[in-house]
Amino acid sequence: MAERLNTTPTKLLEVRGLTRTFTSRNGLFGKKRVMTAVADVNLDVPRGQVTGVVGESGCGKSTLARLVLRLLEADQGQVLFEGVDLASLSASAMRRLRQRLQFVFQDPYSSIDPRYTIRAALLEPSLVQGEKLSTQAATERINSLMAMVGLNPSLAQSYPHQLSGGQKQRIGIARALALQPAFLVLDEPTASLDVSIQAQIIALLEKLRQELGLTYLFISHDLGLVRYFCDRIVVMYLGRIVEVLPSADTPPRHPYTIALMESTFEPDPTKRRIITRLSGEIPDAFNPPPGCAYAARCPHASDRCRSERPALVQQDGHELACHHPPT
């Protein structure tokens, strides 16, 4: 049964208390170890906007992306799409709803079956949905999808290995658009591409968002790109949200977000930074520290930070989890 909750219409998607753990074993008879990849994440995705999730490897952003589309099942918490709890849907109802929720993967090299032609790859979503298309209708569909992502329709007869990385990522986007979705999760869609091609793909995503009225959840490790492309920015560290910036130009207050910002190099030699404050690496997720996960790297950390985890507190739309935000 789909549960309908009271939500304001501006939120397309809501994430409530989402948690997911993974277990691992040291060898066959070793001790079981548990790591929490995503811990108690709450997130609103407003309709028509780009919500960015930023953080470094291991921060749980890709796990979150998969949980949001139920490609992974959550241990706890809910994902509400237009007020409907996705976990409450049967497999067939979820499959039908997937028309509206689509995913663009990081690696276009491995997300397209090498034995499929581009045409077959783009028709697969309608096949899965049980849609019957005449050959002519299929060709029209392919041509319009290819045009939408700026590719020559003649490429539809090619195989993935005949395309460049940028062309493959355009196919990945075209396939996500094949069923006319409302919401796309973009998991580092440009991370494996050259900068010149990365900028092309971002421009394409922006054009599609405006033309089709799409809503994006944009996952990235690149704060510079996120600040350029996103309306709101969610910063994750070791599985938790540490800061939510209500707009791209909100000055960050969490020391980790500030460090991320200082690590982003501007293409301008007059704005060189001196990197002195950054040290250390992300802690072991199997053995997280008791307090603030960032304390070991933080220049402002106190004893309180090392023992007590700061709660995420909202003020004027700006959410922050820090005991001593620098003023």
State which H helix or E strand residue 94 sits in: helix 91-97
**C-beta of 76 vs 110, nearer to other proteins:** 110
**C-beta of 136 vs 270, nearer to other proteins:** 270
Label residue 55 left, alpha or beta by phi (over 0 means left) and psi (-120 to 50 means alpha): left
If binding is defined by CB under 8 A, does position 228 make contact with other proteins? yes
If binding is defined by CB under 8 A, does position 201 make contact with other proteins? yes
Residue from the set 225, 244, 293, 321 that interacts with other proteins by CB under 8 A: 225
According to DSSP, the residues that pair with 185 across neighbouring strands are: 103, 217
In the window 19-38, what residues touch other proteins (CB under 8 A)?
none
Q: Tell me how far apart the alpha carbons of residues 25 and 75 are, in angstroms, rounded to a whole number.
A: 19
In the window 43-62, what residues touch other proteins (CB under 8 A)?
56-57
Q: For the CB of residue 213, give the shortest distance to other proteins in the complex, in Å.
A: 16
Q: Tell me how far apart the alpha carbons of residues 141 and 135 are, in angstroms, rounded to a whole number.
A: 10
One-letter amino acid at 76 equals Q
Q: Which ranges constitute the DSSP H helices of 181-270?
A: 195-212, 223-229, 255-263
If binding is defined by CB under 8 A, does position 278 make contact with other proteins? yes
Q: Tell me how far apart the alpha carbons of residues 27 and 32 are, in angstroms, rounded to a whole number.
A: 9
Residue from the set 211, 268, 303, 316 that interacts with other proteins by CB under 8 A: 268
**C-beta of 52 vs 125, nearer to other proteins:** 52
Which region among 18-26, 41-49, 279-287, 308-316 touches other proteins (by CB under 8 A)? 279-287
Only one residue has tokens 């091609």, namely 197
**C-beta of 65 vs 69, nearer to other proteins:** 65
State which H helix or E strand residue 67 sits in: helix 61-68
Interface pattern 296-325 for other proteins (x via CB under 8 A): ------------------------------
Q: At what angle do helices 118-128 and 135-148 cross, to 10 degrees?
A: 110
Residue from the set 129, 273, 304, 314 that interacts with other proteins by CB under 8 A: 273
If binding is defined by CB under 8 A, does position 107 make contact with other proteins? no
